[in-house]
């Protein structure tokens, strides 16, 4: 976020707004998003509007666990070790 805010005042806030909006969509309809590499239980949600990021998450019952908000060019799966289940 700091990178975007330094590039242009207010852009960091726009990034956080988009992350929040995507998180809200995930919370409402987690099954709407595709499985990541067909690997259960992980799913991915792509931030399409302005920022090249992907949110990786899993859910159980009513709880959603966001494991990473990763730049689209990062090595896929670097975040898997964060899952403590």
> String of b and e for 57-77 (b: at least 16 CB within 10 Å)?
bbbeeeebebbbbbeeeeeee
Q: Rounded to 5 degrees, what are φ and ψ at 76?
A: -60, 135
pTM, full prediction: 0.83
**Distances in Å between the alpha carbon of 10 and those of 3, 15, 19, 33?**
11, 9, 15, 29
Query: Domain count of the chain?
Result: 1
Decide: 45 and 31 in contact? Cβ < 8 Å.
Answer: no
Token readout for 33 is 């998003």
Q: List average pLDDT for each run of 10 residues in the chain, which is 85 residues long.
A: 80 92 94 87 87 91 90 84 76
Instruction: Note down the domain range covering 12.
Output: 2-82
CATH assignment at residue 31: 3.30.2310
């Amino acid at each position: 976020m700091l990178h975007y805010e330094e590039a242009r005042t207010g852009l960091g806030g726009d990034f956080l707004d988009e992350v929040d909006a995507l998180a809200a969509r995930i919370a409402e309809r987690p099954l709407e998003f595709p499985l990541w590499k067909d690997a259960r239980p992980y799913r991915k949600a792509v931030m399409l509007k302005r920022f090249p990021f992907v949110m990786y998450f899993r859910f159980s019952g009513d709880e959603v666990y966001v494991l990473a908000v990763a730049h689209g060019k990062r090595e896929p799966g670097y975040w898997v070790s964060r899952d403590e289940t």
